Amino acid sequence: MSNYSINEFIRQTKQDDTENDYFELETPRILEVNLLDQVWAKAGSMISYNGGIKFEREGILEHGVGRLFKKAVTGEGSSLMKATGRGRLYLADQGKKITIFDLDNEAITVNGNDLLAFEPSIEWDIKLMKKVAGMVSGGLFNVTLKGSGRVAITSHYEPLTLLVRPGQPVITDPHATVAWSGHLEPDFKTDISFKTFIGRGSGESIQMEFEGDGFVIVQPFEEVHTTGSQ
């Protein structure tokens, strides 16, 4: 058989029917959800599904007025959708690399733009980074997830984890920061001396500073968050 035949291509790229875990990496950039009940996912991330699955945007009363207000204030496209039913669901986000975490009574905070999906057993809350709202294009928000269950996040290319140790703070670019330990509270600072070098030509460089004991995940890409982005 030719290495370039359609049959050979199908053999190499077809879905793996032997997988039945709740979250599976079908490829490094496509998440398979073996849905038995429901899952929360980033709105617009569905690329394919089979079976009986219904999709709906986060309901107005789903998580109370407070979260909706915070979402409206950010002006960001952090909309979540709820997929309910039984079947196989395939999720992706602009070809970004996907990482799965199996939380065991743990917490992780994820940049709202980098959250792909999570199990309904996970508690979540949207938090606006008030100190940088207005300073960064489109503002910044994050989602804190805690409890036990699977969480899938995305990054542009391969992520790097930086360890935060007492007395050894880690400073990152907000646009390259993907996630961090749920108990860490980043501080924000501006560095006017960076103004000439950042290439954006608008104001100071905004930096995130993490202190304490934990980790920060960064990506080799500065993702500019624009209002209404998905």
pLDDT at 66 (0 to 100): 53
- Paired residues of 144 in beta bridges: 109, 125
Q: What domains are there in the chain, each with its CATH number?
A: 19-218 (3.60.160.10)
pTM summary value? 0.83
**Sequential pLDDT tens for the chain (230 residues):** 678 888 988 888 888 877 678 999 999 999 999 999 999 999 999 999 999 999 998 754 455 545 554 454 444 445 789 999 999 999 999 999 999 999 999 999 999 889 999 999 999 988 777 666 555 554 567 899 999 999 999 999 999 999 999 999 999 988 899 999 999 999 988 776 655 555 555 555 788 999 999 999 999 988 765 433 33
Please give the Cα distance from 98 to 56 (Å, whole number): 23
CA distance between the termini of the chain? 42
Output the 3-class SS for the chain. CCCCCHHHHHHHHCCCCCCCCCEEEEECCEEEEEECCEEEEECCCEEEEEEEEEEEECCCCCCHHHHHHHHHHHCCCCCEEEEEEEEEEEECCCCCEEEEEEEEEEEEEEEHHHEEEECCCCEEEEEECCCCECCECCCCEEEEEEEEEEEEEEECCCCEEEEEECCECEEECHHHEEEEECCCCCEEEEEHHHCCCCCCCCCCEEEEEECCCEEEEECCCCCCCCCCCC
Q: Are 4 and 79 in contact (CB under 8 A)?
A: no
Please give the Cα distance from 168 to 165 (Å, whole number): 5
pLDDT at 83 (0 to 100): 96
